[in-house]
Amino acid sequence: MSDSFNLEIVNPEKLFLSLENVSEVVVPAFEGDMGILKDHISIISFLKPGIVKVFTGNEVKELYVEDGIIEFSENSLSILTSRIIDIKEIKKDDLSSMINEANEALKDENLDDQKRFIANQKIDVLNRLN
Amino acid sequence: MASLDDLKKRITSVKSTQKITKAMKMVAAAKLRKAQESAEKGRPYSDKMHNIILNLSKNINDKENAPKLLAGSGKDKVHLCVVMTSDRGLCGGFNSNITKKAKSYFKKILDSGKELKIVTVGSKGFDQLKRAYKEYIIENISFKESKNVNYFDADKVGKMIIEKFENGEFDVCTIFFNKFRNVITQIPQEQQIIPLKSEKSDDKNDVMNYEFEPEEDEILNNLLPKNISTQIFKAMLENSASEQGSRMSAMDNATRNAGEMVEKLTIEYNRSRQAAITKELIEIISGAESL
C-alpha cells in the first residue's frame, strides 16, 4: 500500500496503538480539525478535546482524546496524549462523570480563557457522544 | 549457656521470621515484574516528549523571550529539591541511597550560600530528612492510597511545582529518584527539570524543519508543564520498579541469613541436648558406683 503511513499513539502508561497501514488520520488540532495524509509536511501541533479518526483501508476507528500533542515527520505520526479512550469502550457512567468533572472545573472563576475554552470544548464533545 | 527451652524458642522465632521474609520476597518479585513492565511501557511517551521539546527549543531563535520553564528565571538563588522515595520500608538501601545523594546535594547548595527548599514525595524520605533538614521541608506528599503509580498523581505533583515556580518561589528545580537498572543495582539519580537541560544534542542528525501550528512559543508554553509531569511520572515509575527490586534482593538476603541462623542454632541445640544426656548418664553411673 503506497498511500499509507505509520501511526503511534502513546499515553503515559503505554503504547496505546501502533499501526503501519493508516491511510488518513483526522485530529482535533487546537485551531481546527486537521486531516493528515501520506507525505504531509513535518508538523508539530497540539490537540483540544475531541475525536481522533483513524482510517485504515475500509475501517474507521474513533478515539476520544482529552489533550495531546502530535508530531508528523517522515511519514510517521505520533500522538501523545494523557487520556485516550476508544469510543466503543466508553461507558455511559464514565461519560457523565467526565462531564461533571468539566462542569466543576468551569465553576472556578479564576479560570483563564484558554482553560475555559478547553473545558467547554470537552463538554461539547462529551455531550455529543452521550 | 542458654537452656534447651530457650534455644528451641529462638529457633521457632527465626523460622517464622524466615517465612515472613520469604513471603515478602515472593510478593516483591511479582510486583517487580509489573512495575518493570509499566516502567518500560512508559518510556516511549517520555522519550517522544523529550524529542519534540528538543526539536522545538532548537527552532526558537529568540532565546530571551523563551518560556521561563525552559530558560529559567534568570537567577540561581533558590533551589527546590524534590526527593522521591517509597512509602514503605524493608527495602534494603533503597531510601537511604536516595536521601544520601540528596543530602550531599543539599550540603553543596547550603555551602555556596543559596537558599534551599525541599519537597518530599513518599513518607520514608520525609522521615529520614526531617531530623536534619526539617526547617527546609515545605511540603510532604504521599501516595499511600493509590495502589499503582498513575499519571494523575504525577500530574498533581507537577502542577504544584509549576505553581510554585510561577509564584517565584524558586529558580531551579531538581528531582531525586532511583533509576532501575536491574534487580541488584539501582542508581540514585539527580535530574534538573527547571530550567530544562537538554542533555545531549546531536546537532547533525536532529535538525528537522517543522511546521508549527500554532506558533512555537504557544506550543512550548503548553508542552513544558506537561513535560514536567511526564518527567515526574517517569521518575515515579523508575522508583517503583527500583523499590520492588531492592526489596526483593533485601528479602532474599534476609531469608538466607535466617536459614544460616537456624542451622547454627540447631547445631547448638543438638550439642546441648547431647551434653545434658551425657551429664545425666554420668550422674547415674557414678551414683551406681558409689553404692
A43 in contact with B, Cβ within 8 Å? yes
Nearest Cα of chain A lies from the Cα of B112 at a distance, in angstroms, of 38
Contacts of A22 (CB under 8 A, 6+ apart): A4, A5, A6, A7, A54, A55, A56, A77
A18 in contact with B, Cβ within 8 Å? no
* Mean pLDDT of the region A28-53: 87
What pLDDT does B1 receive? 58
Pick from A15, A34, A69: CB nearest B44: A15
What pLDDT does B62 receive? 61
Residues of chain B neighbouring A34 (CB-CB closer than 8 A): 213
Are β-strands A43-47 and A5-10 bridged in parallel, bridged antiparallel, or unpaired? unpaired
A5-86: in CATH 2.60.15.10? yes
Nearest Cα of chain A lies from the Cα of B56 at a distance, in angstroms, of 9
Q: Model-level pTM?
A: 0.83
- The percent of residues in chain B predicted with pLDDT above 90, rounded, is 38
Cβ–Cβ below 8 Å for B213 and A30: yes
The mean-pLDDT minimum among A45-59, B44-58, B243-257 falls in B44-58
Per-residue pLDDT at B7 exceeds 50: yes
B27: confidence class by pLDDT, cuts 50, 70, 90: very high
A14: confidence class by pLDDT, cuts 50, 70, 90: confident
Q: For residue B233, give the amino acid letter.
A: F
Q: Report helix, strand or coil for B55.
A: helix
HSE-up of residue B114 (Cα within 13 Å, Cβ side): 18
Cβ–Cβ below 8 Å for A69 and B219: yes
Cβ–Cβ below 8 Å for B211 and A42: yes
Q: Residue B255 has which C-alpha cell?
A: 531469608
Q: pLDDT tens digits for A78-129?
A: 898 888 888 888 777 878 888 888 888 777 777 777 777 887 888 888 777 7
Average pLDDT of chain B, as a whole number: 86
Structural domains of chain B in order of their starting residue, each with its CATH number: 51-250 (3.40.1380.10)
What pLDDT does B50 receive? 81
Contacts of A67 (CB under 8 A, 6+ apart): A46, A47, A48, A49, A81, A82, A83, A118
Pick from B55, B151, B210: CB nearest A82: B151
Per-residue pLDDT at A43 exceeds 90: no
Q: Fill in the DSSP letter of residue B136.
A: G
Q: Is the link from the previous residue into B195 a cis peptide, with omega within 30 of 0?
A: yes
Taking CA atoms, A74 is separated from A6, A41, A77, B71, B260, in Å, by 9, 8, 8, 30, 61
Cβ(B192)–Cβ(B172) below 8 Å? yes
Pick from B46, B151, B208: CB nearest A42: B208
Cβ–Cβ below 8 Å for A12 and B151: yes
Interface predicted TM-score (ipTM) of this complex, two decimals: 0.76
Q: pLDDT tens digits for B86-131?
A: 988 888 889 999 999 999 999 999 999 888 999 999 888 898 898 8
H or E stretch at B218: helix B216-289
B285: confidence class by pLDDT, cuts 50, 70, 90: very high
Closest Cα in chain A to B38? A13
Q: Residue B81 has which C-alpha cell?
A: 529539591
Q: Residue B167 has which C-alpha cell?
A: 509564584
A16: confidence class by pLDDT, cuts 50, 70, 90: confident
* Mean pLDDT of the region B6-18: 95
Per-residue pLDDT at B191 exceeds 60: yes
What pLDDT does A2 receive? 66
Per-residue pLDDT at B205 exceeds 60: no
B159 in contact with A, Cβ within 8 Å? no
* Mean pLDDT of the region A29-34: 86
Angle in degrees, 0-180, between the axes of helices B94-111 and B216-289, rounded to the nearest 10: 130
Cβ–Cβ below 8 Å for A31 and B214: yes
CA distance B107 to B112: 9
- The percent of residues in chain B predicted with pLDDT above 70, rounded, is 92
Residues of chain B neighbouring A13 (CB-CB closer than 8 A): 38, 41-42, 150-151
Per-residue pLDDT at B200 exceeds 70: no
Per-residue pLDDT at B55 exceeds 90: no
Residues of chain A neighbouring B154 (CB-CB closer than 8 A): 12
* Mean pLDDT of the region A37-50: 87
* Mean pLDDT of the region B152-167: 88
* Mean pLDDT of the region B264-276: 94
B55 in contact with A, Cβ within 8 Å? yes
Pick from B210, B222, B230: CB nearest A46: B222
What pLDDT does B204 receive? 44
Q: Report helix, strand or coil for B247.
A: helix
